[in-house]
Structure 1
Amino acid sequence: MTGTEQWLGSAPAHWARGRLKDLIASSSNGTWGSDPVENDQNVRCIRAADFDRVSRRAELSNAPLRYVEPSSLRQHLLRPGDLVLEKSGGGEKQPVGMAVLFTGTDAAVSSNFCARIKPSVNVDSRFLNYVFAAAYGQGLTQAAIKQTTGIQNLDTGALLASRWAFPEKEEQCRIADFLDAETARIHQLMRARDAQVTALTERDYSSISEVLVPGSLANGSGTGTFPWLPELPESRPLVKLGYVCRIQNGLTVDGKRDVTGDVVTRPYLRVANVQAGHLTLDSVTEITVPRTVAERSTLRVGDVLMTEGGDLDKLGRGAVWNGELPECLHQNHVFALRPATTVLDGRYLALMTQTVHGRCYFESTGTRTTNLASTNSSKILGFPIPLPSLDVQRVLVSQVHQELQKTATIRALLNQQLALLTERRQALITAAVTGQFDVSTASGRNVTEGVSA
């Protein structure tokens, strides 16, 4: 018995039995339109990126402007109370099967990767939105998804054919009112926890900067090549990275490369795998290259990885390679810095890239384009680092790690609370829209029990 059938069995006897499509007047594909024109005829186009996943509302502030022909606009124009359903995509950025409620007043359409869902006249649009939230949260949309190469496509007809039970509109409104109030309380707590997590990140940034470059958080000297730097003691001379480090370039991914003869297949790191201070190795791919190419791009334990391009604030982010994958290679957009171990600790260098000084240097020397930025090996080797003795570097690294461990423990607790709040919100929505309790007598006092403000 599926989860939907169980819900039908537990729903109150006076609720109507039917299909999800019985709650819907129409479902139609969206449109991407064409490039905006120089008049007032452009409209907002809602994508999955414009889904507020907490409130389950469409957010128009960053939705792109597009031009839609008047005849097409009459067909696709969203009305307050319509739902926007993500139909095609995949991954965290394109949550196939998720729906949000459109409440805006500005002219808008849904993108061609989405569908516009219009509720029936006897259906409260907020209730329908919560129904879709329950279906998505419980994984019911997965059964209606067809996977192609790298893309998931939702079979809307199959999803809408799911069995469901639903009350009269008056009771739908009571359920929606109850969920609006209770989920708002949960959202308030979630926003508070998010703010605390952000504050911890800022604290880490400040701690690293002050330990490695004391005085960084105050005003810099305002003079010299690097005006953001404070005055440094003689025991911490400023040394260009190229004097104490050599750089190894990575391999170029080339589909036309000859992979016959003496070749090897190895894992290799991309920019996405290198984060500030750590590596994400859950999505490492493999590549087949000639053995001679692999030998030139093989990582060694102690290498410090830095990224060539991406968002401006991520340039030069550093992480130490500890040999997590044997004989691992790295892409040409990831540089491997190999410190002279007699004078430079790789952990010290990786942390230095996360200081105010490191961020100011890479952001000021990065080459910017419209949406991205890049650096190069010359600029990386020109990075000036305060260089105390090796023993002092190790003491400073230990001090920073102790501080980071404290905030990591707190961050883990906050993330646990966020996960708990998310689970309780989902359980509350599911129980309410499937009639597992009577909202007219229910109290939300226990909804956030154990998670104080």
Structure 2
Amino acid sequence: MAKGKKQNLSAEVLLEQALVPEDEQPYELPMNWIWTKLGNVCTEVQYGYTAKSSTDEIGPKLLRITDIQDGGVDWSNVPFCEISQVEYSKFKLDPNDIVVARTGATTGKSYLISEHVDSVFASYLIRVKLNNLLNYNYLFYFMQSNLYWGQITELAQGIAQPGVNATKLQTMSYPLPPLAEQQRIVDRIESLFAKLDQAKELAQNALDSFETRKAAILHKALTGELTAKWRESQGLSMDSWKTMPLSKLAYIQTGLAKGKQINSVTTTMPYLRVANVQDGYLDLSEIKLITVEKDKIERYRLKEGDVLFTEGGDYDKLGRGTVWRAEIDNCLHQNHVFAVRPESTVLNSFYLAYLASSRYGKTYFLSCSKQTTNLASINSTQLKAFPVFCPSIIEQQEIVRILDTLIEKEQSAKYKLELLLDQIDLMKKSILARAFCGELGTNDPSEESALELLKEVVLPQ
């Protein structure tokens, strides 16, 4: 509404327009809170500056949607832009400004400017400036709440490319408590979040160390440390361990190539691809079919107990493998997956899988692989030459038993940590939901109504 017309309206009409009608209010608030529209508490809701970014320092930094990651901005990676002094004064970012993504998959994502950085904001962002009488941290936390995100989703519906413009953003229902209560809510949120963040850091550190702990367990097992007492009870020593090439202990079966010339009667059969063979498990959510000559089926058929190895791809795919347990009847494998069939009297399939997934196994495959940028591959000759630490078959079985127990415990702990991290995120959402309902135990019903605060904001002085 134009300023002149706004001044001509009565205070009663202005207040009525600033309040959310009772039948449109999302839920009931404490008595001294009010529902208003976001636009009423903002002095500015503005689109950003359109310009080409540059890595050269030709002007101020140009903050873009993509620069806002995980709730923060790495200003050292934000590019620069060229801008006139007049335009700079219009788009310069100041501390306590809030920028909001207005288009794409991240529509609604927000960031509170907390430091002095010589910067402007790009056109796919909306800059929100809050009235100085109000608390900008309270608004920023509101923009993390389910109440905010639910309205963003609703406002962005019906558009091929998700988006919320400045006009729509200003129509959002906003729960306004008294000013002192806004600060108490911010303090309570930050106190509770700090405790949760501390717990999250401890859980994340423990989760991040999972692979290190697993590698240490495998190293102890595959160098005989975990079975030292067992060997002693069996009257054995480490002299019973031999190192032998894999080809002496197993048959290495190469796989079926797609697009091969066919000269006889064919059929279609399920087959495993690299995507199906993960590090220590199989992903069988998508199994494809391949055309194969009937007289070649036995040549490429998988057998229970085969250890599957991937030829390569990304470094993390190199040599990874797991044991085939005949999950699918009559299944073949493609040429980028090797099937290693151990001689059961001298090599245990699960022992081999553990050895291959250990730091020792991964180091071997990486060291002998053919490498290009971010890619690595091995061939059957290198796989056959893999030096296997080979204790007696009964000690291999004991190692597998111990590892199964220890790794299962680690996996269980990992799962619980992942659940805890999810719960911490849910707890934060719950805290925010309670905060904007006035249910954090901070509200003082004797305080002056937020209606008086709104009068100061919307009525001409």
Q: What TM-score, normalized by structure 2, do the two folds share?
A: 0.68
Name the aligned partner's letter for residue 211 of structure 2: T
1:375 corresponds in structure 2 to 377
Structure with higher helix content: 2
Q: Is the 8 A contact 2:155 2:164 kept in 1?
A: yes
The verdict on how the C-alpha distance between 1:233 and 1:309 changes in structure 2, with shifts beyond 3 A counting, is: same
TM superposition shift of 1:191: 0.6
Q: Distance in 2 between matches of 1:76 and 1:270?
A: 50
The verdict on how the C-alpha distance between 1:404 and 1:165 changes in structure 2, with shifts beyond 3 A counting, is: same
Whether 1:36 aligns to 2:55 is yes
The verdict on how the C-alpha distance between 1:183 and 1:66 changes in structure 2, with shifts beyond 3 A counting, is: same
Residue correspondence of structure 1 range 89-104 to structure 2 within 5 A: 89=105, 97-104=108-115
Q: Which shows bigger deviation, 407-416 or 26-35? A: 26-35
Q: Distance in 1 between matches of 2:143 and 2:196?
A: 19
2:413 corresponds in structure 1 to 410
**Which of 346, 356, 359 is the equivalent residue of 1:353?**
356
Q: Is the 8 A contact 2:30 2:438 kept in 1?
A: yes
Q: Distance in 2 between matches of 1:66 and 1:353?
A: 44
TM superposition shift of 1:297: 7.0
The verdict on how the C-alpha distance between 1:366 and 1:177 changes in structure 2, with shifts beyond 3 A counting, is: farther
The verdict on how the C-alpha distance between 1:409 and 1:29 changes in structure 2, with shifts beyond 3 A counting, is: same
Name the aligned partner's letter for residue 290 of structure 1: T
Q: Is the 8 A contact 1:276 1:354 kept in 2?
A: yes
Q: Which runs of 5+ in 1 are unaligned?
A: 90-94, 217-231, 442-453
Q: Is the 8 A contact 1:299 1:330 kept in 2?
A: yes
Q: Distance in 1 between matches of 2:239 and 2:224?
A: 13
Q: Distance in 2 between matches of 1:316 and 1:424?
A: 41
Task: State the identity %.
Answer: 21
Q: Is the 8 A contact 1:127 1:433 kept in 2?
A: no
Q: Which shows bigger deviation, 185-194 or 164-173? A: 164-173
Q: Which shows bigger deviation, 39-48 or 431-440? A: 39-48
Helix, strand or coil at the partner of 1:187:
helix
TM superposition shift of 1:21: 5.2
2:164 corresponds in structure 1 to 156
Whether 1:277 aligns to 2:288 is no
The verdict on how the C-alpha distance between 1:118 and 1:376 changes in structure 2, with shifts beyond 3 A counting, is: farther
Q: Distance in 1 between matches of 2:24 and 2:300?
A: 56
Helix, strand or coil at the partner of 2:438:
coil
Residue correspondence of structure 1 range 266-345 to structure 2 within 5 A: 269-271=273-275, 274-281=277-284, 284-285=285-286, 287=288, 289-292=290-293, 300-309=303-312, 312=315, 315-324=318-327, 335-342=337-344, 343-345=346-348
Larger Rg: 2
2:242 corresponds in structure 1 to 237
Q: Is the 8 A contact 1:303 1:336 kept in 2?
A: no
1:8 corresponds in structure 2 to 26
Q: Distance in 1 between matches of 2:280 and 2:366?
A: 17
Superposed CA offset, 1:103-141 (max 9, x none): 3544567788x6344243355332233222212897665
Whether 1:198 aligns to 2:226 is no
Superposed CA offset, 1:331-366 (max 9, x none): 76x523322342433322221123221232234344
Q: Distance in 2 between matches of 1:391 and 1:276?
A: 25
1:220 corresponds in structure 2 to none
TM superposition shift of 1:185: 1.1
- Across the aligned residues of Structure 1 and Structure 2, the Cα RMSD in angstroms comes to 4.6
Q: Distance in 2 between matches of 1:69 and 1:297?
A: 62
Helix, strand or coil at the partner of 1:14:
coil
2:104 corresponds in structure 1 to 88
Q: Is the 8 A contact 1:58 1:102 kept in 2?
A: no
Helix, strand or coil at the partner of 2:404:
helix
**Which of 223, 234, 237 is the equivalent residue of 1:213?**
223
The verdict on how the C-alpha distance between 1:340 and 1:270 changes in structure 2, with shifts beyond 3 A counting, is: closer
Q: Is the 8 A contact 2:313 2:377 kept in 1?
A: no
Q: Distance in 2 between matches of 1:285 and 1:212?
A: 34
TM superposition shift of 1:26: 2.5
1:439 corresponds in structure 2 to 442
The verdict on how the C-alpha distance between 1:359 and 1:287 changes in structure 2, with shifts beyond 3 A counting, is: closer
The verdict on how the C-alpha distance between 1:107 and 1:8 changes in structure 2, with shifts beyond 3 A counting, is: same
Q: Distance in 2 between matches of 1:31 and 1:305?
A: 53
Q: Which shows bigger deviation, 184-193 or 373-382? A: 373-382
Q: Distance in 2 between matches of 1:330 and 1:147?
A: 46
Name the aligned partner's letter for residue 335 of structure 1: V
Q: Distance in 2 between matches of 1:178 and 1:415?
A: 26
1:70 corresponds in structure 2 to 83
Q: Is the 8 A contact 1:236 1:388 kept in 2?
A: yes
The verdict on how the C-alpha distance between 1:171 and 1:363 changes in structure 2, with shifts beyond 3 A counting, is: farther
TM superposition shift of 1:387: 2.3
Name the aligned partner's letter for residue 124 of structure 1: N
Helix, strand or coil at the partner of 1:302:
coil
Q: Distance in 2 between matches of 1:297 and 1:175?
A: 66
Helix, strand or coil at the partner of 1:362:
helix
Q: Which runs of 5+ in 2 are unaligned?
A: 1-22, 227-236, 445-461
TM superposition shift of 1:423: 2.0
TM superposition shift of 1:208: 1.2
TM superposition shift of 1:427: 0.5
TM superposition shift of 1:246: 1.4
The verdict on how the C-alpha distance between 1:46 and 1:185 changes in structure 2, with shifts beyond 3 A counting, is: farther
Q: Is the 8 A contact 2:200 2:421 kept in 1?
A: yes
Q: Distance in 2 between matches of 1:211 and 1:131?
A: 52
Helix, strand or coil at the partner of 2:305:
coil
The verdict on how the C-alpha distance between 1:286 and 1:20 changes in structure 2, with shifts beyond 3 A counting, is: farther
Q: Distance in 1 between matches of 2:144 and 2:128?
A: 16
TM superposition shift of 1:187: 0.3
Determine which structure has greater relative contact order: mean sequence separation of CA pairs < 8 Å that are 6+ residues apart, divided by chain length.
2
Name the aligned partner's letter for residue 411 of structure 1: K
Q: Distance in 1 between matches of 2:394 and 2:32?
A: 76
Q: Is the 8 A contact 1:83 1:129 kept in 2?
A: no
Superposed CA offset, 1:195-243 (max 9, x none): 2223343222101111012479xxxxxxxxxxxxxxx955332233344
Superposed CA offset, 1:138-194 (max 9, x none): 76655456699xxx9533246765433233555333322221221011100111111
Q: Distance in 2 between matches of 1:267 and 1:49?
A: 43
2:14 corresponds in structure 1 to none
